[in-house]
Structure 1
């Protein structure tokens, strides 16, 4: 089918997106609308290639399935080209200063996507890059995942504002981005973790401020049963995040009361949806009956990584 000229709503030309704190609520809404539109076009087989001749540099320090596939496929569908760069294959992996890599790389490509452990490294890269930088996961934030989560919730519920989003598990990068996402969109964001595993206090404080500005609320608790009462969305993640697998055995006993199972979800609304950023460990953080049950939207959620990232790429590059 021939391509037609269209104009998307979000305009972030030249801007880096390292956390959702970098975006206004209206800009997030525009990205979600654009993603939904691009999803419809993609499913209808309609060509849309606004990034023809553009290149995305993708730096990976960690293993990846969904992130690499969705960014690489997305850039191809938009008419551009994605270059996969493992830190093991780059001079940065041999000690080249980040500022040198950033200055040179941003002269070759139109945008840079980074998946690494240290959020400080992504911030430093962005400071020295002439091209926009997208955080595809750090130890502190996972903004692209949160955008996909918001799109999935909006598709299932028809709205975001006023909904209760409950995350149960480790206070990690996913929980941080979900708190900020809920706060930005006027939702009720609740995180339930074992004592000592709460989200970073500064992230929570900032999310609380953002929530007040947008008519939402943020809460952190150690009581999973109380957290999921009347929840519209229940979300969990693995107990030991990537790079912290050595903590798995120590966490299993502590986190067992925080497993998302039939008993826990009885507190939620009858039409709740279940989300998980994947990969998942069935029988650990979530019972098989939940993740593979009728309330689960995990595969739609995973697909939506493709569509929100396409919207984001168009917004920052064009």
Structure 2
């Protein structure tokens, strides 16, 4: 039996293939139980700290709701509530929080911060996103693929856009662990870090999967079972709109790209938020500047029946529930 008790989840390769698959399967089991109204109070009386340096909709909601459904209480701490790294070291903060809480979720900038929390707190720490990795997103993504395609084994997942970001890196490594082929379709200047590519290759030697990293849209898209993208320009980066559009406009996920897969059951994923129409500030700017009704994805694709983005978002809660339950709860 896999032993998760008191373990950290700081990056995807903290867990091996069997462990990741166990988590995904357990999340699917908990989701089914929830749909039938069966309670899952594996963490009654537990106290969870959410340390968030970055804004969040899905991740914060997923941890809060999942903890509540498991019987735990959540304390939300943003960057203004703590002295983290300013007047108090991460190590000291970790020791203090570890003496009071039963688990910590960290969403922030530096991977070394969440690693230090995991090293010094003495309680399970979960990476809810750093600049380097987004492991809890991966659990939701591969559960969604399994639900809609029956399996992720033998499938090809293609990420299109900015291949240097944490989601692209995490997909490349998670696919390598699980034995899923991963394509990254991105301009030469926006392809994954070489260290991440090297790690993925090492993991692929074990799993037997492969990857294709290319700037050629047609070469990367044909045969894809899943097309996945992420925002090209986040809030606060408006000054980069022109540069991003110039680099990435031929990488927009639109119906022509979906048709290029040659697969009748290809699904579309996006970790959200998405710039797919003019109902956001950035969406309005994109339309005014470039005449595009959508940036990284067209509104047609985003709203299509094969788009599973909202199921994917819901699965953040189910997979985070499974992760917290097995590492911090009374499951076994």
1:249 deviates by 3.1
CA separation of 1:242/1:35 partners in 2, compared to 1, >3 Å: closer, same or farther? farther
CA separation of 1:245/1:131 partners in 2, compared to 1, >3 Å: closer, same or farther? farther
Per-residue CA shift, 1:155-214, capped at 9, x if unaligned? Answer: 011111110000001120000111111111111101011121111111111011111201
Matched, 1:304 2:292: no
Partner of 2:249: 256
Matched, 1:289 2:283: no
Q: Hey, what's the Cα distance between the residues in 2 that align with 1:272 and 1:204?
A: 25
Partner of 2:83: 91
- TM-score normalised according to structure 2 size: 0.90
* Secondary structure of the corresponding residue to residue 304 of structure 1: helix
Matched, 1:29 2:21: yes
Q: Hey, what's the Cα distance between the residues in 2 that align with 1:167 and 1:227?
A: 9
Partner of 1:226: 219
2:269 to 255, 262, 275: 275
Q: Which of structure 1's runs of 4+ aligned residues deviate more than 2 A? A: 240-249
1:131 to 123, 146, 156: 123
1:41 to 23, 33, 36: 33
Structure 2 counterparts to residues 195-210 of structure 1, below 5 A? 195-210=188-203
Q: Hey, what's the Cα distance between the residues in 1 that align with 2:234 and 2:207?
A: 30
Partner of 2:324: 313
Q: Hey, what's the Cα distance between the residues in 2 that align with 1:276 and 1:105?
A: 33
* Secondary structure of the corresponding residue to residue 107 of structure 1: helix
1:293 deviates by 0.5
* Secondary structure of the corresponding residue to residue 268 of structure 2: strand
CA separation of 1:244/1:142 partners in 2, compared to 1, >3 Å: closer, same or farther? farther
CA separation of 1:211/1:23 partners in 2, compared to 1, >3 Å: closer, same or farther? same
Q: Hey, what's the Cα distance between the residues in 1 that align with 2:98 and 2:153?
A: 37
1:47 deviates by 0.9
- TM-score normalised according to structure 1 size: 0.94
CA separation of 1:167/1:99 partners in 2, compared to 1, >3 Å: closer, same or farther? same
* Secondary structure of the corresponding residue to residue 260 of structure 1: coil
* Secondary structure of the corresponding residue to residue 12 of structure 1: coil
Structure 2 counterparts to residues 49-68 of structure 1, below 5 A? 49-68=41-60
* Secondary structure of the corresponding residue to residue 128 of structure 2: strand
Q: Hey, what's the Cα distance between the residues in 1 that align with 2:236 and 2:192?
A: 17
1:220 deviates by 1.1
Partner of 1:115: 107
Q: Hey, what's the Cα distance between the residues in 1 that align with 2:190 and 2:135?
A: 20
CA separation of 1:103/1:244 partners in 2, compared to 1, >3 Å: closer, same or farther? farther
CA separation of 1:200/1:36 partners in 2, compared to 1, >3 Å: closer, same or farther? same
Which consecutive unaligned segments of at least 5 residues does structure 2 have?
Answer: 277-293
Partner of 2:184: 191
